Amino acid sequence: MPLYDRHAPGNGPLAGLRVIDLTRARAGPTCTRQLADMGADVICVVDPHRRYLGGSDSSNLQRNKRSMVLDLTDDRAREVFFRLADRSDVVVENFRPAVKDRLGIGYDVLAARNPRLVYASISGFGQDGPYAGRPGVDQIAQGLSGLMSVTGPPGSGPWRVGIAVSDTAAGTFLTQGVLAALLARERTGRGQWVHTSLLEAAINFMDFQAVRWLTDGEVPPQEGNHHPTVVPMGLFATADGHVNVAPMGRWEAFAEALGAPELATDPRFVDRGTRTAHRRDLDETIEARLATATTAEWVERLNAAGCPCGPVLAVDETFADPQVEHLNVFSMVPDPDGGELAVLRLPLTFSDTPASVGTGPVHPDHHSREILAELGYDPSEIEALAGPAG
């Protein structure tokens, strides 16, 4: 299967679809970025009263899209938006739940005009319920979902996950919802409203930690850098750094590769139950052995024995790693102020309709006149709506 080629963008699987992007911050733009990378024509509708943030984070979220400015509180601008929505397949928004209806652009209004429209929403806590009107950001969802209670060293108090995980999870779940709704439209001929929230996404990402409570009645504790239920699996110090070790195969093979074959017959460690019961003793024994050689030596030795093992890298080291380099995980795109910048690509490979990052980020008003012309406005109307050409 061919690898992604950042120098040869292709015709993605969503080519021919038009998406209106009303989103801001991170969760919503994550969804629309994924749709754009898969070939959809994503048009960002930007509020002129909001400050253009710029910077590397914004560039990574907003590349591969077109952009126009519309003040949706203005009647003329809202009519432009309606004309655009009538000709689009998807609208994505992440306002607080009441805002879209206050603006007069809620699902019922747009679906009455365009029954095939897929309307996609992200909120902090859901479209209704006691917290629906609250502002929501990633860290609030991390805390409310239980995620922070299972992160960090035992007994250390709650820890934030080091990435905006509820934002990216919600954005990715909404992408899945949009794709499923588009597929359903092929069968029914109708669009629909699909929505998620930061809170729902974060709880869903709790996965087996959540069902430890739901099914087993167990409140999961913090376990630091060790796996909560599989022993031994976790982070250990070496002679010059650290390794993550996951002895998933034959216990005897791991013990032999570790240079401690006696672990295979030690009654404290002979099966999963005994290893769990004597976890602290086992972790100390493994760490003592791993301290006798370098990270590189252990990565080579343990992987050769069929035991997953890997180093812990800083971000600059990650992008210098030979496997990461081989996978071409980023693309170079034009910077709106000149030059080039690097942005992450979609981590999917399609054999026939490759995803691509063909264009860089743009300034908010970059495509306003172009899109108005596509919508059938004549030059005098475009000048009235967008102002004279720059």
Tell me the catalytic residues.
167
Separation CA 85–CA 64 (nearest Å): 20
Structural tokens at position 196? 């998620």
Separation CA 129–CA 125 (nearest Å): 8
Which residue is associated with the tokens 């999963």? Answer: 272
* Cβ atoms 136, 108 nearer than 8 A: no
Name the amino acid, one letter, at 186: E
Separation CA 136–CA 283 (nearest Å): 40
Among candidate residues 18, 62, 120, 105, the one with its CA nearest the CA of residue 374: 18
